[in-house]
Structure 1
Amino acid sequence: MGFFEYLMSKRISQIKMSPMRKIAALLDEAKRKKDIISFGGGAPSLIPPKEILDNLYNHVRNNPYEISRYGSTQGSVELREKISEDVFKYSKVKYEKDEIIITEGSTEGIFLSLSIFLEEGDEVILTDPTYLGYSEVIKFYNAKAIYITQDPDTGYQPNLEELKEKITKRTKLIIINSPENPTGRIIKEDIAKAIVEIAKDKKIFVVVDEAYKHIVYEGKNTYISKYGKDVVISVCSFSKEASIPGFRLGYVCANKEIVSVIEKVKQFITLCSNMPAQLILLNYLASEAKDRYLNEYVIPTYKKRRDFMAKMLKQYLPEAKFKIPEGAFYIFADFSPYIKNKNVEELADDILNKVNVVVIPGSYFGKSGSNYFRLTFVSENENRIEEGLKRLAKYFNLI
């Protein structure tokens, strides 16, 4: 097949496999051979709510025909109505059912939201650091990612002056992730309002990745859409809040015009979203079990693990610097005193090979992360968190 590379699209040839997918594949193989402690991926470690599991069982047993059918591209009307109620409950922003489209997780939501805007040479403003999944989608459309800084001393809030300076005639979108992967930062209300005002003034859109909007440990989440629903595209997911990443179910909230164009693209990519998952989530949201699951199980469990990891980092790796995350699943830690200008990606591989601990290089999330590791605190219990950090300390010859 020597002619394959010659015929392959140039657009595809420049896209890289996500390092997170490589790590997931490596872990699947490595776990069969030796004891791995993972501070790597961002998958929830808790079982889904009982209501979801019961609904799944009941639908498989009692509604095999209904759950096996095609659905509409925009998604179940009943589920979109229930999502509308759910979004309003938390954000006080009202979306009609025609302003919501169901997607295969937030990953498809991001891809579709960018796909309807980007052409060759267009620009998208990203923060540094930020979630690693955006830049490759931007490359896919031969567009360009333009980065603005987020200073740890400001709690990783986006630099507004830099944002204003870097918007050009080619800028179409600003992408904000809040609560943020990898830093756990929740964007401040005044910053959110200012970003929306800038977007309105420059006639561009703000894409808000809200995959972690319900994973908040202190205070409340900031809902950017309340400052300007007309220029905000909210991309959401059930993966984190309901511990069901394998269900691949999310949604996008935006004005009707945007949703109708997203629907037009989606019909040729996934046709419709997971119908069993849509039916199960409809029943789950209708049951009002969500608050109980989050407030009595998810948040207390993950907050305890977050606090324990922070304590153990200070004990075993005392020179590592980090901010306590306000939300999401991660501690983004500056390991400069231990890394000493070594290649952080090579170090992560060496750590896995020598002490069987998975850490994610901060460089995956932007240039500012070249001396950082992202450590997830949700994947392991307290005993294994301590053991993993002891192994890291041993690797750096601290114990």
Structure 2
Amino acid sequence: MQLANRVQTLTPSSTLAITAKAKALKKSGHDVIGLGAGEPDFNTPDFIIQAAEKAMKTGLTRYTPSGGIVELREAIASKMNRDHQLTYQSDQIIITTGAKHALFTLFQVILNKGDQVIVPTPYWVSYPEQIKLAEGEPVFVQGEEANDFKLSAEQVEEAITEKTKAIIINSPNNPTGMMYTEEELRAIGEVCLKHNLMIISDEIYEKLIYSDQQHVSIAQLSEPLKKQTIVINGVSKSYAMTGWRIGYACGRKTIIKAMTNLASHSTSNPTTISQYAALAAYQSNGDEIERMKVAFKSRLDTVYQLINQLPGVSCIKPQGAFYLFPNVTEAMERTGFTSVEEWVTAILEEEKVALIPGTGFGAPNHVRLSYATSLDQLEEAIKRIERFIKRHQQI
């Protein structure tokens, strides 16, 4: 049977082979340290779990509106007003089965065949694949390492064609952890307004910031920018709720309505119990977020120094999220490897440390490692990587 063209165009995830191999080694009894996790290593806070239990015990287990329960949409509206001074009505918000589903649904409703979306590189692995599934075309624009992997307004201007429909802004960024300043966002926003581009602002890591820089949503900079922007967010990272699968989108009413209509024919509604758990999260005082941030910052400060001491490895210190994205070009050359996939595979096989190759993020000279694991494990992992480099060093 011939598969549909839309799935045949998908690029296989470069992380799958490494992840599968790491799991197989661990199952065989090897002491594998996995640094690929895109989720906090903390359990969901007890008060959120209790809210889910209460929902189940009081009969809140049935279908909800496709766009999510009104109480949760109103709580998110309050959150957006409190954090960003942005005013949204409940019909300008859709609750989705994770932020990934919000992005997927958005691309499906805004893109026609051949429409282009500017995707800054490095990028989260699912952006280009979701664009292709909507028959759009991802246009990659390189965020230079010298500019903290961020695009300039001039680069955005140069990438725009008559087919350009939208641009993705992910700040703090996965995989780099870097953030756009208000000044940078204003400059990019002016270009977007000039060309009537939709702005897709992925803000899933907004609460996990470890520098003095404050998170700024491009939507809060002006009313015209708010009208052009769809904000994507969710509870996965900030509340350690990855498995609960609750995300959301805020934006223009016509777009949110179209997304809701599409969701009604696909997911029907996000899991009811998870919605009430997310409601408890957004009604909380945020103390649990602060506790996670303290732990993440401590790990970052320690591991960042250790990473930069590795022979042939250099890394810019991230401002947010929970990833490091070191450049390993020189380390590969020293050890005789020509591709980052071969390099990380050898490290996994010989030292039992699982890293994610940067090719899946559009950056073939880098690796992504997550510090969402214990400090002891992180320190041991760096020791093993150093041992590997020194053993293979040729120059």
TM-score normalised per structure 2 = 0.93
Give the corresponding residue for 1:70. Answer: 63
1:278 aligns with 2:275: yes
Amino acid at match of 2:295: T
Residue number among 66, 69, 72 corresponding to 1:79 in the alignment: 72
Q: Which residue of 1 aligns with 2:354?
A: 358
By how many angstroms is 1:336 displaced?
Answer: 1.4
Q: Measured at CA, do residues 323 and 89 of structure 1 come closer, stay the same or move farther in structure 2, by a change above 3 Å?
A: same
**Are 2:220 and 1:232 aligned?**
no
Task: State the alpha-carbon separation in 2 of the partners of residues 319 and 214 from structure 1.
Answer: 32
Q: Which amino acid aligns with 2:358?
A: G
Q: Does 1:47 align with 2:53?
A: no
Distance 2:279 2:199 in 1: 28
- Which among 225, 232, 244 is matched to residue 247 of structure 1? 244
- The 1-side partners of 2:262 and 2:311 are apart by 50
Deviations 1:313-368 (A, max 9, x none): 134x04311111000011110111111261111222221111111111112111xx
Q: What residue in structure 1 maps to residue 314 of structure 2?
A: 321
Q: Identify which of 10, 14, 18 aligns with 1:15.
A: 10
Matched, 1:304 2:298: yes
Shift of 1:152: 1.9
For the Cα contact (< 8 Å) 2:234–2:247, is it kept in 1?
Answer: yes
- Residue of structure 2 equivalent to 1:206: 199
Which residue of 2 is the match for residue 97 of structure 1? 90
Distance in 2 between the 1:90 and 1:221 partners?
A: 9
Partner of 2:187: 194
Distance 2:391 2:317 in 1: 23
Q: Counterpart of 1:212 in 2: which secondary structure? A: coil
User: 2:266 is matched with which residue: 244, 257, 269?
Assistant: 269
Which of 351, 355, 369 is equivalent to 1:375?
A: 369
Query: Which residue among 31, 35, 45 is the counterpart of 2:26?
Result: 31
1:224 alignment partner AA: I
Q: Please list the CA deviations of residues 23-56 of structure 1 after superposition, one character each: whole Å capped at 9, or x if unmatched.
A: 5444444332211111112111011112112223
Distance 1:270 1:186 in 2: 32
SS of equivalent to 2:38: coil
| CA distance in structure 1 between the partners assigned to 2:134 and 2:117 by the alignment | 11
Q: 2:153 touches 2:191 (CA, 8 Å); kept in 1?
A: no
Can you list the C-alpha shifts for 1:225-253, whole angstroms capped at 9, x where unaligned? 11211000111011000101000001000
Residue in 2 aligned with 1:349?
A: 345
SS of residue in 2 equivalent to 1:148: strand
TM-score (structure 1 length as normaliser)? 0.92
Q: Give, in angstroms, the shift of residue 141 of structure 1.
A: 2.7
Q: 2:161 aligns with which of 168, 188, 196?
A: 168
Check the 8 A contact 1:196/1:231 in 2, yes or no.
no
Please tell me whether the aligned partners of residues 19 and 354 of structure 2 are also in contact (alpha carbons under 8 angstroms).
no
Runs ≥4 in structure 1, deviation > 6 angstroms? none
- CA distance in 2 between partners of 1:54 and 1:103 (Å): 22
Cα-to-partner distance string for 1:343-398 (whole Å, 9 max, x where unaligned): 111222221111111111112111xx2211111111x2111111101111111126
Counterpart-to-counterpart distance in 1, 2:49 and 2:172: 27
Confirm or deny: 8 A CA contact 2:120 2:150 kept in the other structure. Answer: no
Structure 1 residue 19 displacement after superposition: 3.4
Give the equivalent residue in structure 1 for 2:289.
294
Structure 1: tracts of 5 or more residues without a match? none
2:115 equivalent to 1:122: yes
**1:149 is matched with which residue?**
142
**Aligned residue pair count:** 384
Q: CA RMSD in A?
A: 1.6
Q: Which amino acid aligns with 2:352?
A: N
Cα pair 1:333 1:374 within 8 Å, conserved = yes
Q: What is the rounded CA distance, in whole Å, between the counterparts of 1:59 and 1:29 in structure 2?
A: 38
Partner Cα separation in structure 2 for residue 343 and residue 26 of structure 1: 18
Inter-partner Cα distance in structure 2 for 1:164 and 1:314: 35
Give me the whole-angstrom Cα distance separating, in 1, the residues matched to 2:20 and 2:84: 37
Matches of 1:208 and 1:237 in 2, distance apart? Answer: 12
CA distance, structure 1, for counterparts of residue 32 and residue 171 of structure 2? 30
Change (3 A) 1:243 1:22: farther
Contact 2:306/2:382, CA 8 A, preserved across alignment: yes
Q: What displacement does 1:279 show?
A: 1.1
Equivalent position amino acid for 2:357 in 1: P
CA contact (8 A) 2:13 2:360 kept: no
Deviates more, 1:164-173 or 1:147-156: 147-156
| Aligned counterparts of 1:25 and 1:398: Cα–Cα separation in 2 | 26
Q: Which residue of 2 aligns with 1:260?
A: 257
